[in-house]
């Protein structure tokens, strides 16, 4: 992409309404525009990051054996009357009537609808286990939408639902979700800690929330200092292997890590004092096992091997896809702007031409642009007629992890400058070497 032809409406002023860094930076970097309280348009740069996050979520769900589909945002109230949640849900639910005066709602979550799909098409235990998920917009009429996309009213969520014959099978599905979530967040360059949680209005027995440590987080968290050091790394997981998957969950949930809702002071005080950590966290996901809470009232049953009929055991598992964009920025920024981890960056590398219109600079930039494209990478080429300072400020603000600077003096000596956004360190090298180095970093992801 050439910046002269892109749509990147950066703001010079810091927007007064934004209280936290991620919200300020998303507005300043031209990633989002607020349309109403808690409702945003995703401008091209923000949309690109959202899509990168979605892609990682899809890949890791499919790797775990879960199947994507897509349910509508609008749902009939009658389905929610079957589960009893139409009246129970309260003012967070946006209720709508169509022209025939039928009650509808903008889905805040999809347990009822997925249970309806299941009961319409699945009859036998032989069709289990089954986990279906989608990535779809949700609406919750939050009392206090704030912090930009972190607490929106309309927001994008991945929500998945498992259907199993027994509790034991459903707990394996729960564990599969935990491990696939750990992988998902790690690929984005985030450390998200699973913490035992309260089940809230969805109801259920087993539940963990995933929290990213950040001072601006809405939840208070208590944890053992050893927990954030745990890494899945590049180990290969066989998601069908129950012992292996359960073992990983145990590794990540044995040490103390809880939110204020489930915090137990006595247990916490058993940790050696120097390892006791109190901080704040952003909830980026949650997994639940809730047994037959929906399958029983809604009649989602299967035939069993011994001619019986039983309601299936279910769970639901969510990732805050749009909230993650904000959480990633909270965890990765400095005073100049965003610092994208390579896994989610909107463009892989920025090319800054210090002397637009100079034949040698222009042709070196064009050659770099083509070379990156040949490696399957997307560069953002700042080809505007602007001062060097303004070009650097834009690149720093939008946070591409790598920047290549091309100037007349360097080109005369066959040199460009490669700069790492995170460390600020620069190196001079040939254009070919710079392309190789950046390509190798992305190839290793």
Ligand X SMILES: Nc1ncnc2c1ncn2[C@@H]1O[C@H](COP(=O)(O)OP(=O)(O)OP(=O)(O)O)[C@@H](O)[C@H]1O
Minimum distance from residue 331 beta carbon to ligand X (Å): 14
User: Residues 6 or more apart from 227 whose CB is under 8 A from it?
Assistant: 193, 252, 255, 256, 257
C-beta nearest to ligand X: residue:
320
400 touches 372 (CB < 8 A): no
From candidates 162, 184, 286, 345, binder to Mg ion by CB under 5 A: 286
Minimum distance from residue 419 beta carbon to ligand X (Å): 33
The verdict on 224 binding ligand X (CB under 6 A) reads: no
Minimum distance from residue 118 beta carbon to ligand X (Å): 20
Q: Sign of the CA dihedral 289, 293, 298, 302?
A: positive
The verdict on 318 binding ligand X (CB under 6 A) reads: yes
Minimum distance from residue 305 beta carbon to ligand X (Å): 35
Nearer to Mg ion, 214 or 300 (CB): 214
From the list 159, 191, 178, 347, the residue with the least C-alpha distance to 246 is 178
Nearer to ligand X, 89 or 268 (CB): 89
User: Residues 6 or more apart from 344 whose CB is under 8 A from it?
Assistant: 49, 52, 53, 56, 188, 189, 328
User: Residues 6 or more apart from 3 whose CB is under 8 A from it?
Assistant: 380, 381, 382, 383, 384, 394
Strand order in the sheet with 402-406: 379-382, 349-353, 402-406, 416-420, 426-429
C-beta nearest to Mg ion: residue:
286
- Contact string (CB under 6 A) for ligand X, positions 174-213, x = contact: ----------------------------------------
Q: Residue 152: name its binding partner from Mg ion, ligand X, none (Cβ under 5 to 8 Å by kind).
A: ligand X
- In the range 125-144, which residues lie near ligand X by CB under 6 A? 140, 142
User: CA-to-CA distance for 333 and 411, rounded, in angstroms?
Assistant: 31
Query: Beta strands of 47-170 (E only): which ranges?
Result: 67-68, 74-76, 94-97, 103-106, 130-139, 154-164
Minimum distance from residue 200 beta carbon to ligand X (Å): 6
Q: Residue 312: name its binding partner from Mg ion, ligand X, none (Cβ under 5 to 8 Å by kind).
A: none
DSSP three-state, residue 7: coil
Nearer to Mg ion, 221 or 438 (CB): 221
Q: Sign of the CA dihedral 177, 179, 180, 186?
A: positive
The verdict on 157 binding ligand X (CB under 6 A) reads: yes
- Contact string (CB under 6 A) for ligand X, positions 320-339, x = contact: x-xx----------------
Number of residues that bind Mg ion (CB under 5 A): 1
Nearer to Mg ion, 75 or 316 (CB): 316
End-to-end CA distance of the chain: 22
User: CA-to-CA distance for 91 and 363, rounded, in angstroms?
Assistant: 59
Tokens coding 323: 């909230």
Nearer to ligand X, 160 or 379 (CB): 160
Tokens coding 220: 């208070």
Nearer to ligand X, 60 or 283 (CB): 283
Q: Residue 399: name its binding partner from Mg ion, ligand X, none (Cβ under 5 to 8 Å by kind).
A: none
- In the range 148-167, which residues lie near Mg ion by CB under 5 A? none
From the list 113, 42, 34, the residue with the least C-alpha distance to 73 is 113
From candidates 125, 155, 174, 372, binder to ligand X by CB under 6 A: 155
Minimum distance from residue 140 beta carbon to ligand X (Å): 5
Q: Residue 142: name its binding partner from Mg ion, ligand X, none (Cβ under 5 to 8 Å by kind).
A: ligand X
From candidates 22, 75, 115, 286, binder to ligand X by CB under 6 A: 286
DSSP 9-55: ---SSPPTT--SHHHHHHHHTT-EEEEETTEEEE-HHHHHHHHHHHH
Report the interface residues with Mg ion, using CB under 5 A: 286
Report the interface residues with ligand X, using CB under 6 A: 109, 140, 142, 151-152, 155, 157, 283-286, 318, 320, 322-323
């Amino acid at each position: 992409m050439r910046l002269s032809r892109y749509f990147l409406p950066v703001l010079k002023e810091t927007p007064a309404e934004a209280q936290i860094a991620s919200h300020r930076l998303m507005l300043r970097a031209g990633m989002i525009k607020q349309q109403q309280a808690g409702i945003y348009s995703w401008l091209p740069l923000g949309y690109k990051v959202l899509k990168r996050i979605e892609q990682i979520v899809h890949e890791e769900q499919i790797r775990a054996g879960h199947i994507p589909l897509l349910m509508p945002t609008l749902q009939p109230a009658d389905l929610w009357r079957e589960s009893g949640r139409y009246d129970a849900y309260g003012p967070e639910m946006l209720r709508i009537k169509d022209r025939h005066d039928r009650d509808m709602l903008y889905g805040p979550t999809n347990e009822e609808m997925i249970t309806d799909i299941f009961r319409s098409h699945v009859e036998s235990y032989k069709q289990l286990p089954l986990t279906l998920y989608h990535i779809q917009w949700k609406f919750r009429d939050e009392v206090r939408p704030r912090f930009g996309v972190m607490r929106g009213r309309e927001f994008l969520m991945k929500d998945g639902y498992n259907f199993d014959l027994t509790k034991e099978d459903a707990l394996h599905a729960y564990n599969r979700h935990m491990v696939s979530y750990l992988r998902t967040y790690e690929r984005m360059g985030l450390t998200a800690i699973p913490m035992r949680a309260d089940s809230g209005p969805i109801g259920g027995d087993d539940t963990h929330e995933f929290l990213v440590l950040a001072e601006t987080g809405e939840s208070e968290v208590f944890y053992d200092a050893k927990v954030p050091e745990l890494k899945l790394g590049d180990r290969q997981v066989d998601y069908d292997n129950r012992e292996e998957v359960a073992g990983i969950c145990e590794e990540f949930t044995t040490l103390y890590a809880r939110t204020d809702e489930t915090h137990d002071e006595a247990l916490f005080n058993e940790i050696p004092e120097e390892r006791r950590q109190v901080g704040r966290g952003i909830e980026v996901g949650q997994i639940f096992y809730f047994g037959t809470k929906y399958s029983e009232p809604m009649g989602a049953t299967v035939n069993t091997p011994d001619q019986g009929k039983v309601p299936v055991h279910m769970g639901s598992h969510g990732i805050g896809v749009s909230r993650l964009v904000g959480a990633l920025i909270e965890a990765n920024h400095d005073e100049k702007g965003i610092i994208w981890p390579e896994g989610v960056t909107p463009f892989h590398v920025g090319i800054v031409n210090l002397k637009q219109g100079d034949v040698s600079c222009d042709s070196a930039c064009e050659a770099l642009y083509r070379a990156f494209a040949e490696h399957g990478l997307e560069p953002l080429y700042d080809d505007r007629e602007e001062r060097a300072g303004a070009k650097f400020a834009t690149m720093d603000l939008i946070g591409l992890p790598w920047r290549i600077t091309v100037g007349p003096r360097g080109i005369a000596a066959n040199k460009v400058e490669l700069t790492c956004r995170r460390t600020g360190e620069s190196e001079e090298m040939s254009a070919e070497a710079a392309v190789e180095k950046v390509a190798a970093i992305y190839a290793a992801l």
